[in-house]
Amino acid sequence: MRKEELYGIYQGEVQVGVSVTSFMTGVTIFFAGLLITKFDSYDDSIKIPILFLILSAFGFLYSTLILANSSADISRLKTERFHRNMNLGDSIGEYVGVYFLVLAIPLVINVITDDSFLRISTLLASLGGLSVYHLSGFSIMQDHYKRMHYLLFSLVLILEISLFIAQRAGGYLVSLASILIFYLLALTFFSRNKRLN
């Protein structure tokens, strides 16, 4: 493959990444704004999902900026820097953007309705979809963490289920949320320089 064709493919990769992450930034900001206007007072049970949505929005926003800036690296023929920046943008977009959005949705539903069927169905759909995505090989965690990815992903599921239960039962909600936030940020940090296959 000629260099020009390869650079064209790289530019296409940037365009798709920027389009998806910028759209998702708008989606998460819309949901966070909708939630903020719905409540007059905020206890921890609503602050946590709003915080997750805000973190998700910033994850998508910064991912968009990094991916867009990597386009300049291709224009300057800096392919090593391009790959590093694409990996960083993808890591932030997935671990901070996608994960916090998917994990926030069941917590939001858990607060706004008392309907057990809807609450449990949303949790199962959220975690089931995330599991299928992860186990199908699409998640970058598999490439970043090789054999450990099953254990690392299991911890995400355990923490989310614990948060979901603690949100209704009370107690440990802030501690569990803090652990999950730190954990996902640590996954992002340690994956930033790993090369994808």
The model's confidence at residue 7, banded by pLDDT at 50, 70 and 90, is: low
Instruction: Look at residue 197 and tell me if it is in a domain.
Output: no
56-92 in b/e form (b: 16+ CB < 10 A) is: bbbbbbbbbebbbebbebbeeeeeeebebbbbbbbbb
Q: Burial, 179: exposed, middle or buried (Cβ in 10 Å; 0-12, 13-18, 19+)?
A: middle
What's this model's pTM, rounded to 2 decimal places?
0.86
Backbone angles phi and psi of 71, in degrees to 5:
-60, -35
Please give the structure tokens belonging to residue 98: 């996608």
Instruction: Look at residue 101 and tell me if it is in a domain.
Output: yes
Instruction: Look at residue 118 and tell me if it is in a domain.
Output: yes
Instruction: Look at residue 196 and tell me if it is in a domain.
Output: no
Contact status, residue 157 vs residue 127, Cβ threshold 8 Å: yes
Q: Determine the Cα–Cα distance for residues 85 and 65; give it in Å rounded to an integer.
A: 10
Give residue-wise pLDDT tens across range 30-50. Answer: 777 777 777 777 788 888 999
Instruction: Look at residue 22 and tell me if it is in a domain.
Output: yes
Q: Which residues have C-beta within 8 Å of that of residue 108, sequence separation ≥ 6?
A: 31, 35, 49, 53
Give residue-wise pLDDT tens across range 132-179. Answer: 999 898 888 988 888 899 999 999 999 999 999 999 887 899 999 999
- Total domains in the fold of the chain: 1
- For residue 65, the enclosing domain spans 3-191
